[in-house]
Every structure is written in C-alpha cells, then in structure tokens.
Amino acid sequence: MYDKVQKYQKTPYVQSDQFLVIAGPCAVEDEQTMLLIAKKLLAMGITHMRAGAYKPRTSPYSFQGLEAKGLEILKRIKEETGIAIVSEIIEAEQIPSYLEVVDIFQVGARNMQNFGLLKALGKIDKPILLKRSFGATVDEWLYACEHILVAGNENVILCERGIKTFETSTRTTLDISSIPIVKEKTTIPILIDPSHSSGKRNIVLPLARAAIAVGADGVMIEAHINPKAALSDQEETLDLVQLEMVLDELHKIARVMRKKLI
Amino acid sequence: MYDKVQKYQKTPYVQSDQFLVIAGPCAVEDEQTMLLIAKKLLAMGITHMRAGAYKPRTSPYSFQGLEAKGLEILKRIKEETGIAIVSEIIEAEQIPSYLEVVDIFQVGARNMQNFGLLKALGKIDKPILLKRSFGATVDEWLYACEHILVAGNENVILCERGIKTFETSTRTTLDISSIPIVKEKTTIPILIDPSHSSGKRNIVLPLARAAIAVGADGVMIEAHINPKAALSDQEETLDLVQLEMVLDELHKIARVMRKKLI
Amino acid sequence: MYDKVQKYQKTPYVQSDQFLVIAGPCAVEDEQTMLLIAKKLLAMGITHMRAGAYKPRTSPYSFQGLEAKGLEILKRIKEETGIAIVSEIIEAEQIPSYLEVVDIFQVGARNMQNFGLLKALGKIDKPILLKRSFGATVDEWLYACEHILVAGNENVILCERGIKTFETSTRTTLDISSIPIVKEKTTIPILIDPSHSSGKRNIVLPLARAAIAVGADGVMIEAHINPKAALSDQEETLDLVQLEMVLDELHKIARVMRKKLI
Amino acid sequence: MYDKVQKYQKTPYVQSDQFLVIAGPCAVEDEQTMLLIAKKLLAMGITHMRAGAYKPRTSPYSFQGLEAKGLEILKRIKEETGIAIVSEIIEAEQIPSYLEVVDIFQVGARNMQNFGLLKALGKIDKPILLKRSFGATVDEWLYACEHILVAGNENVILCERGIKTFETSTRTTLDISSIPIVKEKTTIPILIDPSHSSGKRNIVLPLARAAIAVGADGVMIEAHINPKAALSDQEETLDLVQLEMVLDELHKIARVMRKKLI
C-alpha cells in the first residue's frame, strides 16, 4: 500500500483552513503580457501564477512553448513582482534550470507514471504538484505520489483534472468524488483544475464553486488578459473579469467552509 | 435536436431560488418504520420522501421490493403525514395504481431509454424524475427527456446519478459537470443523487455540498433510521443524525447561493 | 450468482460446430425491397434475416420504423421465402403480434435491463437474442439473461455489440474478450454484431473474421441491396457484394475452427 | 495531422505476408531460466524473446526488475542463442546500455506520451515498439508515433494492449477494432498483446486467434517455463505447452490469412 501517503505527517503546503488559487495562462507568452497578468493577479490577491515554458503536446506540430526563453521570462517576472511560479516540468534534465525560477514543479497528467521523472523530483526540496493522469484510478495516482515520497520529497500537492470517459460534452469528466476519497486516505492537499478538465470557459465558475464546497484545498484556473489572443487553450481560458467573478464566489463559499483564500 | 427541452417555458417543479431535498430509504419497509421515517423527515423540514415499492434489480434473486403492498403502505403514510412521495415506476401498467399514491414518478437509470414507459408517462399529469442512465451521454439523456415532453407531459425533473467509468473507488463516477452543461441548454430542474452515484455513506455530505454549489436544483439522498437494518443499499445510506448534518451544511451554502431548501 | 446461466444444459440454438449468420437491413423497408433482399440472402446460404419493425431511437424525431405495417411485410416475406425472421421487440404488449411472424425475438441494448420485458419474454417459447447494453458489464448482462431463464424460457442467445468507452474512432468499443469470458461460464451461444459496434462499413469484414476466430457462435451483420438508400444506419451497412466477401472469409476460417456456417 | 504516419513508405519490420510472434517472461529472471526459455522458444520457431530488465511499476514496492544485471543476462543469452531481444526502455539515459543488447526497444503504455523519451528514441537506428496507453485514443497514439517519426526514426511497430473501461472481468478491454482503424491510416505494423490486455491466461489463446484473423501483424505473449514461479504477472503467463498450442492455432489461421509466422 501507499504507506507514506497514508501516514503523511508533514505540514502541508496548503493548510486545512486555506484554499489556494493558482491562475494564469496555459503557456508563457511575451514578457510584457506576462508582467501585466502577474500584476493583475497580485492585485486580485492571487499569489501563484501558472504558465508553461515547456508544453507536452499530443501533436509534434502544436506550439511546444517558449522553452528556455519562457523560463527566463518567468524568472524576470518573479524577480519584478514576487509572484510564485507554478510550471510544468517534462524531463528530469530540466530540474537545474527550473530550480532558480519555479516555486511549484508541476507534473502533468501524461507524465504521472514517468517514474524516472518522479524519482528525480523526489530528490529536490520544492513542492511537486502531481496531476492525475486521465487514465489513472485514484489508487494508481496515490501510488505515483508514493514514488515521490519514497524518493525523499514529502512536499506534494495533488491535482484532479478529469478522467477519460464516454461523455463528450466536456473534454474529460471531472471526478469530483476523488476529493473526499483522497481525503479519507491522506492529509496531502488536493486541488481541482476546472479549466483543463472541462475545456469550457462557461462552466469553470460553477466547477470552482463545487471544488471549494466538496472540500478541495484549491483550484488551478486558466486565465489571460485576452483569451482570444492566448497561444493555446483559448476555449477554456477566462478573462480577468471572469476570474474576478470566480474569486468573489469562492470567497463567499470559503466563509461557509471556514477557509481563507491564499 | 431536443427542441422542447431547449425551449422549455413551463414553471419548473423546483424554481430557481429553491433547492429540493428528497430523502428516505431505498425500498419501502414495514409501515411502522416508514411512518417513523416520514415523521422525522417532516420534522427536519424535508417534504419529499423517496422509497421504492417495485425495485429493478440486476439479479432476479435480490429483494425486488414489497411491490403492491409497498404502494399501499406509502398511501397510508401519505394520508397520515401529508409527505410527498417519490417512487420509481418500472412498467407502464403500474401507472394507474401509482397515480393515487405517488407525487413524483421516478424513472430509474436502467429505464432511461425504455421508450414505451417514457411515452406512457408523457400522457399523465404528474412530475417525472428522469434519472440518467450510467451508460448515457448528456445528449442521450436530454433526448430521453424530449420523448416525455413530446408525448405531452412537460413536468420533468432530471437527476444525475453517476456514469460508468474505469474508476472503482466509487460505484459510478458522479458527472458533476453535467449540471452546468444541462443548465446551458434548458431550464428543466436537475438534481444530484450523491448516494447511488458513490455507493459510500462517508462521501455523501461533501458531494451534497458540491451539488448545491455547482448549481443543482436539489439532491436525492438515501436515509434510514437504522441503516444497518435497511433492506437494501446499506453501505450508502445515512442515518438521520447524518442526514441532519447534511441539511445544516446545505442551509449554509444555500444562503450564499440565494436558494431556499424545500 | 446467475445459476441457471452457469448450469445451462439445454441444446443451444446454435450448436458448438455451427456458426450462425444473421444479415439484413436495419429497418423493414417496402415489401419489394425486403423480398429481394430475402431471396438474395437465401441464395447466399443465409437463412436468418434481421429487420426492425419497431425501432427504439435516441431521438423521438428519428424514423421509428414501419411498426405494425413492417410486421405485416415481414410476415409475407417469411411466407413467400421461408427465411427465418429476427426482429427487435420493444414492449411486452407486442408479443402476440410478433409470435406469428418473428422466429428470434431480439432485445436491444437499451432494453437489456427492462425487467418487465425480460419477464414477459421468459414466458414464451421462442429464442430470445439478448444484446448487451453499452453500459453493462459482462456480469450485469448475464444477470439480465438469468431473468429470462428464471421466468421459464431457456432458449436464449447472447449478442455482444460494443460498450461505451472514451475511444471515438468507432461508435462503441467491441469487447471481443467478452466472448471467451462468457464461454468460461456458460454454454449459451453468443454472437457478435460488428456493424452496430463499429458503425463503420469498412471494418465489418475484419471484425467478422475476428468473431469466428475468437470462438463466437455467429455474427449479425447489417446489409442492404443499396446501402445509400437504406432508411437508417447507412454508414455501417454492407451491400450484398461486400456481404458475400464476408461470407467467403468466414467459410475459410470456419474450416479451421471446425464449424459450419448456418 | 500525423502526416508521416499516414504517408509511411518504409519497408516495415513485419511485412504484409508475415506475422511476428514475440514471447517470453514479463521480467528477466536468472540466467539459467532465461537461457532455457530462449532455447525452447527458438525450438518452437519463435525468434523474438520479450523480457523486462527495468520494469515500470505502479507501486514503488513492487519488484522493479533486475535492472543493469538483467541487461547483462539478456546480452549473454543473445550471444549464446542468437534470439532477438525485445525489452522495455523507461528513461532516455538507458539508451546507450540498451543499444548493444536490445533489438526492439519497447515503450510501455505508461510512457506513450513521455515526449522526451520518444524524441530520444527518434534519434536511434533500432525498431521501436510503441504500446498504446490505456488512456489514449487511437488518434493520440498515432500522434505519439508521429513524435518518433518526426525525430528521425521511421522504424516503428505499434502494439494494442487494451484500454481502461468500466468492464472488470478483464484487466483492460482489448480494443480489437483499433487494428483495422489503424490499418486504414498507415502501413506501420501493429501487434496485439493478449496477455497484458486481459490479465487472464485462459483467454490468451482465443484472443491470439482473433488477433491474426482481424489482420494484426503479430502478437506479444507472456510465457514462462513455470508460470507459478514467475517473478511477476503470474496470472496471465502461459506455460510453454500452452504457448505451443497457441502457435499451432496461429499457424492454421495464418494459412487462411496467407501469412507466415516469423
């Protein structure tokens, strides 16, 4: 069994009276755009920005991210604004260059069972955000988490982002029941990604409300100043006005849930 | 397309500022037990009791319900307490005997595409609670609903109860995204059944909170005075103290959502 | 457990050295077309024709079949040619009118757990072809079969027609492994429907070959003189030349499998 | 689109009149056992042996393979017997040590979208056996293949090993329709793995027959001298007598399909 997951004792990255909001564009864009987004997020009280420098893409012909240049942009944004950076890592070799920029190392759904990567991340001293593979059971996901813990890094955050089912009206099916199922087994914090799971801008708000009400420890939301100009995932990306509405409603339910947005 | 679903104009059974709570045992039990449950539900402010007289069961050897005798018990409970009765109908021939007892006719997941039954229910003047088949897309579900509307009965309520996926930690996977997806297409009210979808008593409470937060119009919860003695579905049935806790938390989120529990 | 399924002793409709081929159009069409198809099938050695008089359709606006008139046409075709008729029954009330026309009563995927219908069919003395619901496990399917056996009719044939999965290149996913899984548990014959499971004319031939090689007892194939003019399911329907090619290849593998096409 | 997959012109590793049989234990075991298995396989006419040195395992506590020592054993077996070695590679860094031992580099289901690994394998001059992820559509699988082709290695073999569905009687659901679907799009050879897809020894034989009948270019079968003593995957592993029966039946259907076992 996933012993270390079940006997988790570490003070978690998100505490039980907190609710973490991570927002930002799918991929890193030009420095000016990124700076503007970072400042707007901070002004709303959002302290963690997501943005991918290296993008794992189904097709080799899709935009693969700005790569090293994207990391540099993130570094400057972070230095200038102090915003915490959440970014996906694809290969173990990228770890050194990420270490000085990225605050939370995201492992994407496609790499959830890339055990070489998990082991390498088990040796660093940074929080790891482990997304659930869209083909993995909760059990397989917690075992993947155990791989990181066993390797030595106990700073882990889980993120539910939907599983593959026959339903086609959403990109994947958000398995909201996985939150209380995981909560029964471990104190490791668990987030929900309503943007990637649904692939639909219009339902991000109700899913975010459901996330906090079901007991998740946070959400990860795609947002951009101008979603129509975003380099990828336009259909699910909120503009900043929509993001502010989500925050408003999260605040209201947070009070009922006795949680504070961080 | 499902025109009548999309152009729905009727005043719905549950209005937009209301949240319907239906609770009760899986199957009708002896009269004394049922009377006690009905009174306790009413005392908590729950006005709709669910209980099955005829149970569609995967195995022909499982308990099939008290059948006609069950209906009689429900009739007496209703006369004595005034509680509204929600009960599943399996065959069109049962309609006459249901008409004088049952306030909401439930069509179970297995009969969602039993078109003969849907057509027959389209000719009566009672609300129909149409559960989603665990093998049906949202589209197929709305088409099934259209079958009832086209036949002449516009008093319909939808109920999401989980779909079949590879995940095994819950009995089915509650497709919570289906609520906002359906809301984009129609004003027909839609409930969530956190008990049957999960098959796990312990996660009914968080799923019920998620239901109201995501914008559902109600929940349908299995509850019993003594779940261990229930004739079926023991594992997911709440006792009445647990049910009261669910109500408390629903009330809190209802205020944020500007809804009233009915 | 499904005792009667597992202890099945009856001489099955398709014997272990036989392979049943059922072919024909999705829906009954005009008498002339049906007569022509029946004669062509018989000329190829195919003795069972499928054709639906009453069609259960997802949408209430799709063609619902010629209904009573369709049954009359089938009756005259049968009298004139002697071909055996396989046709889907949707409601128990149709049984009397079917009895004088239909040789094999088909229960469609959507009605696999319509227990009222199953019970009614359990009281007649005709073979029942029970299709697997696209949302049912093998276990649930065999339980549905048990409902018929328990009610008194032991003349049953199973038919695998695909299950709902996330794969979208075929309409459903043909679960070919279900054949040997069922064969381990019972001697009830089991067919494969490569037409409805795939929804693609081009892959019916390889799937039919796989069906006989995996040990199925037959196939059910949609075929029409002029698929482009068929009233429904055009995309998966073979023309009669293509059907003859399927037969040729089935004959070849049948020799290896020591089976005879019937 | 996956252009290079669709315009594939290379002489494929398995030609259209051939059927490749790969067999052997899940994991590399001690040298004596491996030598014995290799000799027995060759004696049956099987020229390709599978065996994993590095095993990607859901749990970090499961047997992870003999690793470097396993590779050494495979090297000696290959030198002594001449059998071709098929073995799974997990990390790009292993490539140099694999190059002198492994004839076909297998990418497992969990690494199908490990794009770093795919790119690295795109730069070597050895055939790559790309297994389908149990959460991937056919389209996503072919895109993963395109990643290898684009990187420069056109020597690819696909392998269907089952997808995740709600059915629980087999470990995954073998998507046999994927074979003709892939065949419509490309001439890249495609195998079926009846052992891992089903997880059941008893149904490997019928699934192997279905594989050749449906038009696959080969099978990959787990086999061991003494399955009960195998270090992993005991439930699905054939003993060598059972393997010989599979070969016999494959030969018979191969004649009908005008293919030769290699």
Q: Do B181 and A170 touch (CB under 8 A)?
A: yes
pLDDT reading at A69 higher than 90: yes
Q: What torsion, rounded to 10 degrees, do the Cα atoms C35, C38, C42, C47 define?
A: -140
Position D63 scores a pLDDT of: 87
Position D176 scores a pLDDT of: 98
Token pair listed for B205: 């409470």
pLDDT reading at C233 higher than 80: no
The answer to whether residue C185 neighbours chain D at the CB level (below 8 Å) is: no
**A76 pLDDT tier (thresholds 50, 70, 90):** very high
pLDDT reading at B213 higher than 80: yes
Alpha-carbon distance A161 to nearest alpha carbon in chain C (angstroms): 16
- pLDDT tens digits along D17-31: 999 999 999 999 999
Out of C166, C181, C210, closest to residue D203 by CB: C181
pLDDT reading at A98 higher than 90: yes
Percentage of chain D modeled with pLDDT above 90: 94
Q: Which residue has the higher pLDDT, B236 or D175?
A: D175
Alpha-carbon distance C120 to nearest alpha carbon in chain B (angstroms): 12
**Over residues D203-228, mean pLDDT:** 96
Position B231 scores a pLDDT of: 74
Position B212 scores a pLDDT of: 98
pLDDT reading at A229 higher than 90: no
**B234 pLDDT tier (thresholds 50, 70, 90):** confident
Separation in Å, CA D256 to CA B152, C71, C248: 58, 41, 11
Residues of D in contact with B171 (CB under 8 A): none
Unique residue bearing structure tokens 């993001």: A243
Out of C91, C135, C146, closest to residue B133 by CB: C135
Residues of D in contact with A92 (CB under 8 A): 91
Residues of B in contact with D168 (CB under 8 A): 168
Position A228 scores a pLDDT of: 86
Alpha-carbon distance A144 to nearest alpha carbon in chain D (angstroms): 7
Cα-based angle D31, D35, D41 (whole degrees, multiple of 5): 145
Q: How far apart are CA C54 and CA A229, in angstroms?
A: 52
Out of D59, D60, D135, closest to residue A134 by CB: D135
- pLDDT tens digits along D5-58: 999 999 999 999 999 999 999 999 999 999 999 999 999 999 999 999 999 899
Chain C residue with minimal CA distance to D172?
Answer: C177
Residues of C in contact with B58 (CB under 8 A): 113, 140, 143-144
D119-122: long-range contacts at Cβ-Cβ below 8 A with a sequence spacing of 24 or more? D119/D147, D119/D148, D119/D151, D120/D92, D120/D95, D120/D151, D121/D89, D121/D92, D121/D95, D121/D148, D121/D151, D121/D153, D122/D147, D122/D148, D122/D149, D122/D150, D122/D151, D122/D152, D122/D153
- pLDDT tens digits along B175-207: 999 999 999 999 999 999 999 999 999 999 999
The answer to whether residue B175 neighbours chain A at the CB level (below 8 Å) is: yes
How many interface pairs between C and D have CB atoms less than 8 angstroms apart?
127
* Predicted complex ipTM: 0.96
Q: Do C113 and B115 touch (CB under 8 A)?
A: no
pLDDT reading at C231 higher than 90: no
Please state, rounded to an integer, the average pLDDT across all residues of chain B.
96
Q: How far apart are CA B77 and CA C114, in angstroms?
A: 29
- pLDDT tens digits along B5-61: 999 999 999 999 999 999 999 999 999 999 999 999 999 999 999 999 999 899 999
pLDDT reading at D232 higher than 80: no
Position B248 scores a pLDDT of: 97
Chain C neighbours (≥3 Cβ pairs under 8 A) are A, B, D
Alpha-carbon distance A176 to nearest alpha carbon in chain C (angstroms): 18
The answer to whether residue A180 neighbours chain B at the CB level (below 8 Å) is: yes
**Over residues C38-52, mean pLDDT:** 97
> Does the pTM of the predicted model rise above 0.90?
yes
Alpha-carbon distance B216 to nearest alpha carbon in chain C (angstroms): 25
Q: How far apart are CA B177 and CA A20, in angstroms?
A: 21
Alpha-carbon distance B76 to nearest alpha carbon in chain A (angstroms): 38
- pLDDT tens digits along B71-87: 999 999 999 999 999 99
pLDDT reading at D239 higher than 80: yes
pLDDT reading at A14 higher than 80: yes
Separation in Å, CA C227 to CA A61, C27, C32, C42, C70: 38, 12, 15, 19, 19
Position A237 scores a pLDDT of: 94
Residues of A in contact with B206 (CB under 8 A): 179-180, 183, 213-215
Residues of A in contact with D161 (CB under 8 A): none
Percentage of chain C modeled with pLDDT above 70: 100
Q: How far apart are CA A226 and CA A239, in angstroms?
A: 6
Q: How far apart are CA B19 and CA B192, in angstroms?
A: 11
Q: Do D136 and A140 touch (CB under 8 A)?
A: no
Percentage of chain A modeled with pLDDT above 70: 100
